[in-house]
């Protein structure tokens, strides 16, 4: 499937075939593509929790107001981010670049994030969002559908997955074989309402 088709056809599907299983190879393809998602300073701060345990999936569903896609989709991910990824051996993010590049970039990472909690959180959410879109478009290109989710109790979800204190939950993402199509689009704003040239 061409990228333009995947973008056009990607929708938030709510109903999935609970009998359909994705293969290990398909899951690996999905995740290998997700790992190519860009992050600021290449800190790769996203963390993906694939919840496969049935009891945990049922608990996630309860925390998500009983939305059926949590248990019915082939896969349910909790997309998280490490708020302190910038401070965890940052040289490793640039290990394949020339030494002179490392000497410039690596010190900049700590200078940019140190003591700036809101920037760290903002960066986490940006990274999770970009990774989620990569995963959704990849899933669509593979013949699967997806549903990004923020309708859940984040504290309950954090407890279920044993989220470390210096991490944050960004969203959940269901991936699987649609049992019925998505609802019609709710309504798109015209381009003139959202695109501005050289400022507002």
Where do the structural domains in the chain lie, given as residue ranges? Answer: 6-180
Tell me the average pLDDT across 164-177.
98
The Cα-based distances of 138 to 74, 175, 178, 179, 196 in angstroms read 15, 10, 15, 19, 30
Q: Is the pLDDT of residue 3 over 90?
A: no
Task: Give helix 117-141 / helix 99-113 axis angle, nearest 10°.
Answer: 120
Q: Is the pLDDT of residue 1 over 80?
A: no
Q: What would the pLDDT profile of 13-71 be if each residue is shown by its tens digit?
A: 999 999 999 999 999 999 999 999 999 999 999 999 999 999 999 999 999 999 999 99
Token pair listed for 167: 């991490």
Q: What would the pLDDT profile of 113-132 be if each residue is shown by its tens digit?
A: 999 999 999 999 999 999 99
pLDDT of residue 8: 87
Q: Is the pLDDT of residue 185 over 90?
A: no
Pick from 135, 159, 155: which is nearest to 147 by CA?
135
Q: What would the pLDDT profile of 146-166 be if each residue is shown by its tens digit?
A: 999 999 999 999 999 999 999
Q: Give the CATH number of domain 6-180; options: 3.20.20.70, 3.40.109.10, 3.40.50.720, 2.40.50.60.
A: 3.40.109.10
Pick from 50, 13, 3: which is nearest to 145 by CA?
13
pTM of the predicted protein model: 0.94
Pick from 110, 135, 113, 119: which is nearest to 30 by CA?
135
pLDDT of residue 55: 98
pLDDT of residue 183: 86
pLDDT of residue 163: 98
pLDDT of residue 181: 87
CB 153 within 8 A of CB 18: no
pLDDT of residue 179: 95
Computed over every residue of the chain, the mean pLDDT equals 96
Q: Is the pLDDT of residue 194 over 80?
A: yes
Q: Please report, rounded to a whole number, the percentage of residues in the chain having pLDDT higher than 70.
A: 100
The residues facing 48 across adjacent strands are 79
């Amino acid at each position: 499937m061409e990228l333009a088709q995947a973008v056009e056809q990607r929708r938030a599907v709510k109903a999935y075939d609970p009998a359909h299983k994705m293969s290990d190879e398909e899951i690996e393809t999905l995740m290998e593509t997700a790992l190519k998602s860009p992050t600021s300073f290449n800190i790769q701060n996203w963390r993906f929790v694939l919840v496969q345990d049935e009891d945990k999936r049922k608990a996630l569903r309860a925390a998500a107001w009983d939305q059926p896609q949590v248990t019915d989709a082939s896969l349910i991910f909790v997309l998280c981010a490490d708020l302190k990824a910038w401070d965890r051996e940052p040289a490793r993010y640039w290990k394949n670049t020339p030494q002179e590049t490392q000497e410039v970039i690596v010190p900049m990472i700590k200078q940019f994030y140190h003591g700036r909690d809101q920037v760290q959180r903002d960066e986490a959410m940006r990274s999770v969002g970009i990774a989620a879109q990569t995963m959704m478009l990849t899933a669509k290109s593979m013949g699967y559908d997806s549903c990004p989710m923020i309708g859940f109790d984040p504290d309950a979800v954090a407890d279920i997955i044993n989220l470390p204190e210096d991490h944050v939950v960004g969203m959940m993402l269901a991936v699987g074989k649609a049992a019925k199509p998505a609802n019609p689009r709710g309504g798109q704003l015209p381009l003139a309402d959202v695109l501005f040239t050289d400022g507002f």
